[in-house]
Copies of this chain bind each other. A is one copy, B any other.
């Protein structure tokens, strides 16, 4: 049974480089929860540590969530959005910074533990480089694996999901695609290190998301899923299904096929759209994709054209 969640940053002001004051007023935290709770079929939220939840407000947040009948899908330790991480977090050469990054992850794990959350989603967006010759990659890869392993040992019952992404904000990131995130997980030697597959990041990496689902699940390391859509260039974080259809249907088909039954979380940045409307239409598309996916079978028994014909005809049923 699919559990759907929403990353509550969707209700923020959606600032970007050009419109740096944002496209709207940020919505207060509790109103975000109300909105999420109002979405059909959605029962969870994704929160940032320590931005949304921390040691001081943890009980209060738990109360608020209970009141809105929401659970936490995952907690995301903030290791990207402050200027201090600009030379990396898990791979920072500065010992203090690197230690801060690990502390952030462990802090998020502690919050997960206190709130009954199973997943800590690590997005290492500043762990990468901008220029050729800027970074000592060998040391970087080592520190990455070492950092993940150390954090994994902190609470073996909490799953660490590496949210891979090719670029943004660094021009190139270490954990760029499903294969690299998987190899990093395996290299830690820890069973509670795995991968968060964001379908948009997967498109940006030139992957077919369904193929990555099967790769990661086959190694027991598909820990978390983010949904949205984009044009395959930048991380547009548009509503689910607004660009890709056949690939999206296949993605949902494969999530079922591999028995994925953890959270599927909407990670959206609706710059020029109404956030609640964009969440609603995403969920509507997700249900459409589930219907189509449920009618499809994988086609290696058929000619390629026949497979494509089946997708079209699944709408007529």
Q: Mark A58-81, 1 if CB is under 8 A from B, else 0.
A: 000000000000000000000011
* CB-defined contacts of A16 to chain B, threshold 8 Å: 16-17, 169
CB A69 to nearest CB in B, in angstroms, measures: 24
* CB-defined contacts of A213 to chain B, threshold 8 Å: 137
By the criterion of a CB under 8 Å from any partner CB, how many residues of chain A are at the interface?
Answer: 112
Which residues in window 268-317 of A have CB below 8 A to B? 269-274, 277-278, 280-281, 284-285, 288, 296-300, 303-312, 315
Which residues in window 36-74 of A have CB below 8 A to B? none
From B205, B233, B253, B272, contact of A130 by CB (8 A): B272
A87 in the interface (beta carbon within 8 A)? yes
A99 in the interface (beta carbon within 8 A)? no
Q: Mark A17-38, 1 if CB is under 8 A from B, else 0.
A: 1111111100000000000000
A97 in the interface (beta carbon within 8 A)? no
Which residues in window 206-264 of A have CB below 8 A to B? 206-208, 210-211, 213-215, 217-219, 230-234, 236, 238-239, 241-247, 249-250, 253-254, 257-258
Q: Mark A126-145, 1 if CB is under 8 A from B, else 0.
A: 00011111111110111000
| CB atoms of B19 and A169 under 8 A apart | yes
CB A258 to nearest CB in B, in angstroms, measures: 7
Task: Count identical subunits in the complex.
Answer: 4
Query: A168-B18, A217-B138 given as contacts; is B274 within 8 A of A303 (CB)?
Result: yes
Query: A20-B20, A206-B206 given as contacts; is B174 within 8 A of A296 (CB)?
Result: no
CB A229 to nearest CB in B, in angstroms, measures: 10
Closest to A301 in B: B93
Q: Mark A183-209, 1 if CB is under 8 A from B, else 0.
A: 110110000000000000000011110
* CB-defined contacts of A310 to chain B, threshold 8 Å: 133
Return 18 A-B CB contacts under 8 Å, by A number: A15-B20, A17-B269, A18-B81, A19-B80, A24-B83, A130-B273, A131-B307, A131-B308, A133-B297, A133-B298, A135-B300, A138-B257, A140-B214, A141-B218, A167-B231, A180-B183, A232-B232, A233-B234
Residues of A that sit less than 8 Å from B by CB:
15-24, 80-83, 86-87, 93, 125, 129-138, 140-142, 166-172, 174, 176-184, 186-187, 205-208, 210-211, 213-215, 217-219, 230-234, 236, 238-239, 241-247, 249-250, 253-254, 257-258, 269-274, 277-278, 280-281, 284-285, 288, 296-300, 303-312, 315
